[in-house]
Amino acid sequence: MSDIEAMNKRRLPVTVIGGYLGTGKTTLVNHLLRHAGGRRLAVLVNDFGALPIDRDLIVAAEGDTLDISGGCVCCSYGSELMEALIELPHRRPDLDAVLLETSGVALPGMVANAVSLLADYRIDGTIVLVDAETVLERAADPYLGDTITRQIAAADLLLVNRCDLVDDRTRAEIRDWLSAQAPKARQIESVRAAIPPALALGIDHQPGRSPGLATPGAPDAAALYESIELGFAGTVDATAFAHALASSADGLLRAKGFMQDCVRGWVSLQMVGSRFEIEPAPAQERGRLVVIGRRGRLDRDEIERHLAEARR
C-alpha cells in the first residue's frame, strides 16, 4: 500500500445525522444499514435506551456494542463521543464509513466540528432531518425553536421527511422557509427516510457502473434522481472547479471525482451539497467525475463549462 493510499484509508468518512426528536433519524440509519451495498459501517448513537437498530439486523450484542449483519457495528457513546471515535479504528480497522446519529437536542454542526479535529476522520456530510408535518410549528416554539433553526443551519443536506403527509402548498412553504434558514444546504424530500444510500454514504463508483440510485422503499427514485459521468484529460485547478460546482444550481446533491490538479498532482474530490474536500489520490488513467442530483435539474452543460474554465 502506498503512502497516499494508507493516508486515505486512515481518514474514515463520517456522516453526521441530526434533527429534532421524531424526524426519522433512526429510520434513516436502519435504511442505510439495510442497503449499505457491502460497505462496513459503524453507527454511533447516544445510547441504546430505545434500541435504535432494528432487531432483525442485530447478530450479537456485547457491552456497549452491537454486531449488525453485513459486517457493520453499532456503538453507544453516551457523552464520550470523542473517546469512542479514537478507539473505533483500533477496534474495527475494517470499517468503510461511520454514521453518527446525534440526539434530538444536539447541534450537529458542533458535533461535526469536533469530529473534524480527529486525524483519523473526515466529515463526509451533515444530514439534518425535519418532519414535514411539524417543522414549522416546532421552529416557532419559544423553547425548541432556536435549537431547531441552529440544527437546520448546519446542514449540507436537508432531508424533509414524511413529505407525503402534507399538501403541495405546505411543501412549497417548507422549501421556502428552509431556504431562508440554510441557503447553502440542498433539500431532498422523502417518505420513511428512504433515499438513495449514495446521498448519505457517498458515491462508491467504478467506471462503467451505476453509482447506485436504486432506493428500496421508494419505487419512484428513478424519477427523482439522476447521475452524470464525465471523463476528461489534462490538468485542472481542482479548488476552483470545486468552488464552481458548489455554487451551481441546487440540483447537484453529491459528486465524486479524480483529477490531476495543476499544483498538487492527482487528487480526489468529494462533495455533498456545497461542502467539498480535496485530498491526494493515486494516479488515474484520466480524470473522471460522477455527480448525482435531482432529475431534470442537473445541468450537464453547466458542469462541463465549469470544468472547461478550471482547465490549466
Has residue 47 got a pLDDT over 90? no
Helices then strands, counting H and E runs in the chain, come out as: 11, 15
Per-residue pLDDT, averaged over 246-251, amounts to 81
Domains of the chain by range and CATH? 3-195 (3.40.50.300), 221-310 (3.30.1220.10)
What is residue 154's three-state secondary structure? coil
Is residue 63 classed exposed, middle or buried when 0-12, 13-18 and 19+ CB atoms within 10 A define those classes?
A: exposed
Could you tell me if 253 and 292 are in contact, meaning their C-beta atoms sit under 8 angstroms apart?
yes
Per-residue pLDDT, averaged over 35-59, amounts to 87
> How many other C-beta atoms lie within 10 A of the C-beta of residue 125?
25
The confidence band for 206, taking pLDDT boundaries of 50, 70 and 90, is low
Has residue 223 got a pLDDT over 80? no
The confidence band for 7, taking pLDDT boundaries of 50, 70 and 90, is very low
The pLDDT value recorded for residue 305 is 95
Least confident of 49-63, 78-92, 251-265: 49-63
Cell of residue 113, nine digits: 466540528
Q: What digits encode the pLDDT tens for the residues 69-121? A: 999 999 988 778 999 999 999 989 999 999 999 999 999 999 999 999 999 99
Task: Return mean pLDDT, the chain.
Answer: 90
What is the C-alpha to C-alpha distance for residues 157 and 222, in angstroms, rounded to an integer? 19
Has residue 6 got a pLDDT over 60? no
The pLDDT value recorded for residue 205 is 60
Q: What digits encode the pLDDT tens for the residues 123-182? A: 999 999 999 999 999 999 999 999 999 999 999 999 999 999 999 999 999 999 999 999
Query: Distances from the Cα of 78 to the Cαs of 43, 86, 296, in angstroms?
Result: 13, 14, 43
The pLDDT value recorded for residue 222 is 61
The pLDDT value recorded for residue 3 is 46
Has residue 191 got a pLDDT over 80? yes
The pLDDT value recorded for residue 251 is 84
pTM value? Answer: 0.92
Q: What are phi and psi of 13, to 5 degrees?
A: -75, 135
The pLDDT value recorded for residue 19 is 97
Q: How far is CA 258 from the centre of its chain?
A: 19
Has residue 283 got a pLDDT over 80? yes
Per-residue pLDDT, averaged over 31-49, amounts to 89
Rounded to a whole number, what is the largest CA-CA distance in the chain? 56
Per-residue pLDDT, averaged over 236-256, amounts to 91
Cβ-proximal residues to 264 (8 Å cutoff; 6+ apart), any chain? 238, 278, 280
Per-residue pLDDT, averaged over 285-302, amounts to 92
Cell of residue 212, nine digits: 447506485
What is the C-alpha to C-alpha distance for residues 92 and 1, in angstroms, rounded to an integer? 19
What is the C-alpha to C-alpha distance for residues 306 and 291, in angstroms, rounded to an integer? 13
The pLDDT value recorded for residue 8 is 47
Per-residue pLDDT, averaged over 47-73, amounts to 87
